[in-house]
């Protein structure tokens, strides 16, 4: 039974084998980038933070919920991550990912049928660089992605629906196919669900680069990602990443 109120929980962070394609998620690559160990993938941290939300709000949130996630500081493999939810008004909840009491990431989740500010016209953005479409069968590693990462809630498996962490993972695939070379870091996403999706189907991933800019940490890109199944929209994402870790001049 769903409690209706997200509850705090803790998990020992881990990386999945498929994330080793990004050197930052290996010990060697993490140290080369100035960290003490491998950084845990943002989508894995997302899976941890979204667990209390899915447990409390159930399949309704998978179908019509929305959220914003920001990654503020690294989570390293082996860190104990405390995911602490707090109400923020209008029925929404902010889940904070803490390591030793320090804030590493935050996710603001809006309840089923709540805030949906996605799918808007991108004409006000500086770019409109359409990328090649991609079809991804939601089978194999996608079926138990969150469970393998340590987010052990069984709701999605029992309902045979796609876990919400798969959606930013598919958006990461856009980055790896077209925009990055070497180590890179997922920094934030705004995600709107339009339908729950059964496992085993094939998803069409359409993506447009809507912004690029330089920071002291390197170059960033923002991508509008639209995911559909059988012609029907299921998820919309505004996905931002540090696609190059080379510092730029001040």
Q: How far apart are CA 133 and CA 193, in angstroms?
A: 20
**pLDDT for residue 242:** 92
pLDDT > 70 in the chain, percent? 93
The domain spans of the chain are 9-244
Q: How far apart are CA 175 and CA 190, in angstroms?
A: 16
pLDDT tens digits, one per residue of 135-158: 999 998 888 888 888 888 888 888
Q: How far apart are CA 27 and CA 113, in angstroms?
A: 41
> How many CA atoms, within 13 angstroms, populate the side-chain half-sphere of residue 1?
1
The architecture of the domain spanning 9-244 is Roll (3.10)
pLDDT tens digits, one per residue of 25-74: 888 888 887 888 888 989 999 999 999 999 999 999 999 999 999 999 99
Q: How many angstroms separate the Cα of 163 from the Cα of each of 30, 148, 197?
A: 27, 12, 9
Q: How far apart are CA 165 and CA 142, in angstroms?
A: 9
Torsion of CA 45, 49, 53, 56, to 10 degrees: 110
Whose CA is closest to 161, among 195, 198, 136?
A: 198
Contact of 245 with 228, CB cutoff 8 Å: no
* Residue recorded with tokens 């991508």: 223
* Residue recorded with tokens 């996905």: 239
Contact of 231 with 133, CB cutoff 8 Å: no
pLDDT tens digits, one per residue of 161-206: 999 999 999 999 999 999 997 888 899 999 999 999 999 999 999 9
CA 96 to chain CA centroid, Å, is: 14
Residue 92 φ/ψ region, left for φ over 0, alpha for ψ in the -120 to 50 degree band, beta for the rest: beta
For residues 16-26, give the mean pLDDT: 82
């Amino acid at each position: 039974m769903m409690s209706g109120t997200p509850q705090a929980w803790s998990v020992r962070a881990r990386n999945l084998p498929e994330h080793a394609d990004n050197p930052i998620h290996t010990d060697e690559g993490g140290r080369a980038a100035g960290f003490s160990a491998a950084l845990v993938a943002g989508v894995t941290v997302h899976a941890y933070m979204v667990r209390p939300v899915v447990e409390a709000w159930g399949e309704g949130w998978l179908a019509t919920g929305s959220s914003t996630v920001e990654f503020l500081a690294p989570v390293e493999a082996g860190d104990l991550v405390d995911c602490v939810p707090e109400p923020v008004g209008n029925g929404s909840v902010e889940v904070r990912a803490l390591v030793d009491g320090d804030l590493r990431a935050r996710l603001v989740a809006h309840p089923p049928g709540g805030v949906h500010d996605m799918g808007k016209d991108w004409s006000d953005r500086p770019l409109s660089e359409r990328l090649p479409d991609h079809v991804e069968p939601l089978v194999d590693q996608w079926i138990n992605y969150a469970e393998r990462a340590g987010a052990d809630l069984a709701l999605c498996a029992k309902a045979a629906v796609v876990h919400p962490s798969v959606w930013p993972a598919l958006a990461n695939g856009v980055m790896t196919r077209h925009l990055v070379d070497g180590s890179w870091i997922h920094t934030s996403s705004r995600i709107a669900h339009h339908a729950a999706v059964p496992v085993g189907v094939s998803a069409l991933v359409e993506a447009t680069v809507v912004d690029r800019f330089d920071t002291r940490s390197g170059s960033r890109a923002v991508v509008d990602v639209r995911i559909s199944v059988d012609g029907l929209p299921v998820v919309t994402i505004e996905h931002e990443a540090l696609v190059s870790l080379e510092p730029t001049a001040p």
